Structure 1
Amino acid sequence: MHINNLPSHALLACVIALYSCTSPSDKAENPVEPVNIYNGDVKIDYKSYGNGEIAVLFVHGWCINQTYWDSQVDALKSDYQVITMDLPGFGQSGMNKEKWTIEGYGEDVNALIDQLKLSNVVLVGHSMGGNVILESAVKNRKVIALIGVDNFKDVGSELTPEVQEQVDAFMVMLQENFKEIAPAYAEGSLFHSSTDSLVKKRVMEDFASSNPESAIGSLKALLDYGVKEQTLLSQLEQPLYLINSNASPTSREGLDSLGVSYQVLDIDSTGHYPMIEKPEVFNELLKKVLDRIEVKSQTISQLPSKNDSYDIQITAT
C-alpha cells in the first residue's frame, strides 16, 4: 500500500504533532442550464460552460469541490466546452453511494460523459482525481487525453514500515475526530511557505466541513489503489500530462517502467493546489497542453496504441 496521490506522506507525523497541540472563490460565470445527471440513484452535480470541439472535464481531489476550477473555467470557456463536477460525497453531489471507491468514481465520470453526449474529452484530475480520471479513461474511448494536477508523483513506490505506522495512526485519528484532524493534515502537509493565507483558510474549512463517511471511505480506497493504478497506467493508450508542484519531485521511474506516454510540467512555489495558488501560471501551462491535443475522429479500431509516440514536447516557463 502506498499514498500515491496525497503528497508528502512522511509529513503525516507533523499532523499528529499539530493535533496534539492543536475564502470563498470567485465563481465562474454563465454556466449552461444543466440537465439532471444520475449514476444509478446518485445525483452528480455539474456545470457546463462554452462550446468547442474539445470538452475539458475537471475532476477535483479529496475533500474539496468543483469551485476550485473556477479560474480555469474563466480562462477556457471561450475556446472549449468546459465541464466541472462534484464527485459524489463532496460538494453538491449525492451522498447516497453504497461504497466510496475509485472505481465507482470513474463510473460517475463516465456517466456524466455519456449522458451529456460528450466527445473528444480531455480529463483534468487533481490529487485523488488523477486516479479517478485514469479509471474513466481506460474504459471510455471518448477520452483523448488526461491531465493530472499534482499527482502520479511516486508511481510504484512502497511505504516504509515507519510511514505505514504513521498512516495507520492518522486513519485512526481521522475516524475519531475528523473535523479537527483533516484540516490539521492540510495545514501540516499540503501548503507551500508562500501559499496565501486565504487559500489555506479555504482548504482547511472545506476539509473540516466534508462528510466524514465519504472522506474516510474514499481515502481508504485511494490508499489501497496502488497496484490497480500501475495496472491501468500500463494499459493507458491516451497521453498523460502532469502539471505538478515541484515542492516535492515527480519520480519518472515508475511511469517509465510502465511505458506510459507522459510529460511533466513543473510549477514553482506552490503547495498541493496550484490551480488556486498560482492560477495565472497554472492556466498558461494548461493552455500549452491543450494546444497540443488534437481532436480524434478515429473509430475505436483506429485509435493509437499505447506504444505510439505523441507530440508532447512542452517547455514549462
Structure 2
Amino acid sequence: MPDTDSFLNNPVFVCLHYWAGSAREWDQVAAELAPEFKCLAPDLGGFGVAAVPKGGHSIEAYTDSIAALIAEKQLTSFILVGHSMGGKIALNLAARHPAGLRGLVLLSPSPPTPEPMTDEDRTASLRAYGNATAALGTFTHITARPVSTEIRVQIIEDNLRSRREAWDAWLLHGSRENITGHMCDIQVPCTILVGDADAVMSPSVHGLETLPYLPEGTHLEIISGAGHLLPYEAPQEVAALLRKFGRRVETPR
C-alpha cells in the first residue's frame, strides 16, 4: 500500500448513483476506500434530498450540474464513477474532457445508446411511482445477493422519495437519449463493472452497447453472483476494483 504522504496525490472518486436511488448507495464503498481515497457522492437532481435541477432532467442538464459541483469543490484530480443512470451521465461528462479527469469507471451503466427497455417495462415503471409494494418488488428483482434489512429499507426509501418529475423524465427521455456521437471524445482509461446475475442489464448488453464506444483496452469486469445494485451487494469487491484502478491512474508527482 502507498505511504500516507502519497494519499495527497490520489484522485477523488466522484460517484453518481442509479435512477431512483441516492448518494447513500456509496457509503459502504467509501468506507472501504478510506483513508487512501476520498469519495464525493452527490444526490442527483430530483433524487435523494436534491431539489429538481434548474436546467431540467436531460443528460446534458445533469452533466452540467456535476461539472459545476466539481468546479465548486476545486477538484484537480478525479475519477468519474457512474452507476446505471449515473453511468450515462458520467459518460457524457467524460466526453467533455474536464480538467483533472483521470479515468472513468462504469458500474452496470445505462449505455450511451438508448437503454434497452420494452414498452411494457417502461409503462410498468411509470405506474410504479410512489407505490411501496412496487418498490419492494423492484428491490427483489434488481438484487441477487442478500443485503441487510437496514440496507433493504434504505433502498426502498430512496425509491419512494424520488421526485415524480425526475422519475418520469428518465423513463421517457433520459434513458432514451443517444449520446454515442460524443463517445469518441473519451480519452481516459475506462473500466466497466457488472454483475453476472443482473436482471436489468446483463453483461452481454454492456459488451454490445457500451464497450465498443470506449477506448481500446477498456476492461469488462464481472462480479459473480451480483445483481444490478453492485455498491450495495458487493461493496468490498467494488472498492477493491476502484482502489486498483485509482492506483493505476493516480496523479503524477
Partners of 1:187 and 1:78 lie apart in 2 by 31
Q: Higher helix share goes to which structure? A: 2
Counterpart Cα distance in 2 of 1:259 and 1:206: 31
Tell me the residue number matched to 1:266: 222
Q: Structure 2: where are the runs of 5+ without partners?
A: 1-6
Q: Which amino acid aligns with 2:233?
A: E
What amino acid does structure 2 have at the position aligned with 1:69?
W
% identical aligned pairs? 21
Rg larger in structure: 1
Q: How big is the shift at 1:114?
A: 1.0
* CA distance 1:296–1:110, shift in 2 (3 Å): farther
CA contact (8 A) 1:52 1:79 kept: no
Counterpart position of 1:242: 192
Is the Cα contact below 8 Å between 2:114 and 2:176 reproduced in 1? no
Distance 1:169 1:73 in 2: 35
Task: Indicate the RMSD between aligned Cα atoms, in angstroms.
Answer: 2.7
Q: In the superposition, relative to structure 1, how do residues 65 and 255 fare at CA in structure 2: closer, same or farther (>3 Å)? A: closer
After TM superposition, the structure 1 stretch with the greater mean CA deviation from structure 2, 76-85 or 165-174, is 165-174
Give 1:169's aligned amino acid: T
Deviation at 1:90, TM superposition (A): 1.4
CA distance in 2, matches of 1:256, 1:148: 10
Which structure 2 residues correspond to residues 294-305 of structure 1 after superposition, within 5 A? 294-295=250-251
Superposed, which structure 2 residues align to 1:71-220 within 5 Å? 71-95=28-52, 97-139=54-96, 140-151=98-109, 156=113, 164-170=118-124, 172-174=126-128, 177-180=129-132, 183=135, 186-187=138-139, 189-192=141-144, 194-196=145-147, 198=149, 199-220=151-172
- What's the CA shift for 1:165? 3.2
What letter matches 2:146 in structure 1? T
Instruction: With the length of structure 1 as denominator, give the TM-score of the two structures.
Output: 0.67
1:255 to 1:128, Cα distance in 2 relative to 1, 3 A: closer
Cross-structure match for 1:282: 238
Who is 2:4 aligned against? none
Separation in structure 2 between the aligned mates of residue 280 and residue 259 of structure 1, nearest angstrom: 26
Q: Is the 8 A contact 2:126 2:168 kept in 1?
A: no
Alpha-carbon separation, structure 2, partners of 1:277 and 1:283: 12
Shift in alpha-carbon separation, 1:82–1:52, aligned structure 2, 3 A: farther
Deviation, structure 1 residue 291: 1.9
Q: How many residues align?
A: 239
Q: Note the C-alpha offset of 1:188.
A: 5.2
- Residue 85 of structure 1 aligns to a residue in which SS? coil
